Amino acid sequence: MGKKLYITTAIPYANAKPHIGNAIDYLLADIWTRYQKQNGQDVRFQVGTDEHGNKIAAKAAEEGKTPQEFVDSMLSRFTDMMKAVNAEYTDFIRTTDVHHRAAVQYIWEKLQPYLYKKSYEGWYCVGHEAFFTDREAAETDGVCPDHQQPYQRISEENYYFKLSEFGPAIKEALETHKFDIVPEFRKNEILALIESGLQDISVSRSKKNLSWGIPVPGDDTQVMYVWIDALSNYLTVLGYPDQEGWREYWPADVQVVGKDILRFHAAIWPAMLLGLELPLPKKLLVHGHVHVGGAKMSKSVGNVVDPIEIITNYGVDAFRYYFSRHVPALDDGDFTWEKFETAYNNELANELGNLVSRISKMVISYQAGVVGDGIQAEHDSKPYHDAMRSFEFNRAIDEVWLSVRSLNQYLEEVKPWMIAKQQETDPDAEAHLAEVLAHAVGVLLQIATQLIPFLPDTSARIIALFKDGVVRGDPGVMFPKIYLHSTDPRRK
Ligand SMILES: [Zn+2]
């Protein structure tokens, strides 16, 4: 067996509850993890929360809590979301973890050759933890529109990271596929960015402007800004640098990120790793955003879709199904409650759910629950595996659905219920019926096996139903019809 596998997800900022973009991170990483585990691989799957910064400190103050008490109180929202989407993660990192804080200080010291102090003057917004240019400050009349607070004219010394030095090495790694970005058009965006020249970035703030963070070692006037603190989590969660085992998993095989944070992961992060003399992740898997009926999801418009609401009403596998099949893994997608419910009723309830109950009921009523030894159907599964390996999860599940539809069609054509009726008069009918049902069960089991990464609960139910070639009892309704956002066609 080769290297042990490692997949990561972005760590959301713990000042608000997680959103659908986070849920999609967990889902994509989980699909990949389950697929790899199915193929016998050892996989570590990281999740976590980013817990430092002024926004956290401000929220904590509003609630009369210390920042640590505040982030502790936020934690369950994130673990609840991860569990709700049925993500089988192995490691949870909090940037306030004692080990993380110590490891990040070690990383800072190792990056010394690439850090320098520089004084900077500009308009500072404490809420943003960032400087704005004269022009930006003038355009908003000197008041931050997001924080409703005047910018302060500040001159301070910060540490800078020599990101500009790493452009050529990152470019070379991308061109030689040592470090890759999927899909290709995202990779081209980053190559163009590097071509235009990477600028050094400020990686610390003076303590008076940022109190809640990891102190810069050896300089008690400075606190680390988000970059080195948060990005390091992908290493520190494995136990870097001092705990056993991290070398067996690093470099990450896949790092799942949303397109809005690609730049940090495709420029700052690989530069840090090069500075630490560590190998770069093999792949960044970049997903898009989910729109609602073609519009951007936003709190002010009030069209925010809560994954928990979907899962509560339709079940976790229905959520996983829609967001792996009807939202492409590598691009933007669209959601409406109507589209979702239609997919649920037509595809999950009618096409898959009915298929399972039809086949199992026939095996029960025609053969006392015993599936004969027949042909173990083996549809060509290469297109499915090709799609899985190239992260085109929607194409993989489309392939599975071709089998679902062709099995439904097969039953319509062969009509096992007619063969059953012929048994009284035709001596060959019994064997023929057994062969047809064995074939149907074989295809259905192949479908269930290919659905394991996508619909873990459903596939486990199907596999258990036909375990050992005997159907024991009624399977029940797998996806009961739901009409919360559409009308039951039978009632029209
Ligand atoms: Zn601001």
For 379-433, the pLDDT digits (tens) are 789 999 999 999 999 999 999 999 999 999 999 999 999 999 998 899 999 999 9
For 121-150, write each residue's pLDDT tens digit.
889 998 888 888 888 999 999 999 988 999
Which pLDDT does position 82 carry in this prediction? 98
Q: Does the 336-491 domain belong in CATH 3.40.50.720?
A: no
Which pLDDT does position 193 carry in this prediction? 96
Q: How far is the CA of 145 from the centre of ligand 1 (A)?
A: 7
Q: How far is the CA of 134 from the centre of ligand 1 (A)?
A: 14
**What are phi and psi for residue 470, nearest 5 degrees?**
-130, 125
pLDDT bracket for residue 377 (50, 70, 90): low
For 38-68, write each residue's pLDDT tens digit.
999 999 999 999 999 999 999 999 999 999 9
Q: How far is the CA of 289 from the centre of ligand 1 (A)?
A: 24
**C-beta of residue 355 within 8 angstroms of C-beta of residue 437:** no
Q: How far is the CA of 207 from the centre of ligand 1 (A)?
A: 18
HSE-CB for 439 with a 13 A CA cutoff: 15
Q: How far is the CA of 168 from the centre of ligand 1 (A)?
A: 34
Helix (H) or strand (E) holding 285: strand 283-287
Cis before residue 281, ω within 30 degrees of 0? no
pLDDT at 374 over 70: no
**C-beta of residue 151 within 8 angstroms of C-beta of residue 132:** yes
Q: How far is the CA of 301 from the centre of ligand 1 (A)?
A: 21
Q: How far is the CA of 143 from the centre of ligand 1 (A)?
A: 8
Q: How far is the CA of 73 from the centre of ligand 1 (A)?
A: 25
Q: Across the chain, which distance is largest between two alpha carbons, in Å?
A: 97
From the list 358, 372, 375, 384, the residue with the least C-alpha distance to 462 is: 358
Q: How far is the CA of 361 from the centre of ligand 1 (A)?
A: 62
Q: Which residue has the tokens 């470090």?
A: 179
Helix (H) or strand (E) holding 396: helix 393-414
Which pLDDT does position 86 carry in this prediction? 98
pLDDT at 462 over 70: yes
Q: How far is the CA of 38 from the centre of ligand 1 (A)?
A: 47
Q: Interior CA angle at 154 toward 148 and 155, to 5°? A: 160
Q: How far is the CA of 71 from the centre of ligand 1 (A)?
A: 21
From the list 482, 351, 364, 331, the residue with the least C-alpha distance to 408 is: 351
**C-beta of residue 53 within 8 angstroms of C-beta of residue 213:** yes
Which pLDDT does position 300 carry in this prediction? 83
**What are phi and psi for residue 86, nearest 5 degrees?**
65, 40
Which pLDDT does position 474 carry in this prediction? 80
Q: How far is the CA of 126 from the centre of ligand 1 (A)?
A: 6
Q: How far is the CA of 121 from the centre of ligand 1 (A)?
A: 17
pLDDT at 492 over 80: no
Q: How far is the CA of 151 from the centre of ligand 1 (A)?
A: 8
Collapsed DSSP state (helix, strand, coil) of residue 207: coil
Mean pLDDT of the residues in the chain: 95
pLDDT at 299 over 60: yes
Q: Which residue has the tokens 């990101």?
A: 163
d(CA 475, CA 453): 22
Mean pLDDT value of segment 243-247? 94
pLDDT bracket for residue 375 (50, 70, 90): low
Q: How far is the CA of 210 from the centre of ligand 1 (A)?
A: 14
From the list 348, 342, 340, the residue with the least C-alpha distance to 293 is: 340
CB atoms within 10 A of CB 129: 18
Q: Which residue has the tokens 């074939």?
A: 439
**C-beta of residue 415 within 8 angstroms of C-beta of residue 431:** no
Q: How far is the CA of 135 from the centre of ligand 1 (A)?
A: 15
Helices and strands per DSSP (H, E), number in the chain: 21, 16
Mean pLDDT value of segment 235-239? 98
Q: How far is the CA of 66 from the centre of ligand 1 (A)?
A: 22
For 256-272, write each residue's pLDDT tens digit.
999 999 999 999 999 99
Amino acid at 334: D
Q: How far is the CA of 163 from the centre of ligand 1 (A)?
A: 25
Q: How far is the CA of 155 from the centre of ligand 1 (A)?
A: 17
pLDDT bracket for residue 192 (50, 70, 90): very high
Q: Interior CA angle at 161 toward 111 and 131, to 5°? A: 145
| Percentage of the chain modeled with pLDDT above 90 | 87
CA separation, residue 211 to residues 2, 69, 224 (Å): 44, 15, 10
From the list 205, 193, 264, the residue with the least C-alpha distance to 230 is: 264
52, two tokens: 């430092």
Q: How far is the CA of 211 from the centre of ligand 1 (A)?
A: 16
Q: How far is the CA of 49 from the centre of ligand 1 (A)?
A: 22
From the list 234, 236, 241, 326, the residue with the least C-alpha distance to 284 is: 234
d(CA 193, CA 171): 10
Q: How far is the CA of 146 from the centre of ligand 1 (A)?
A: 5
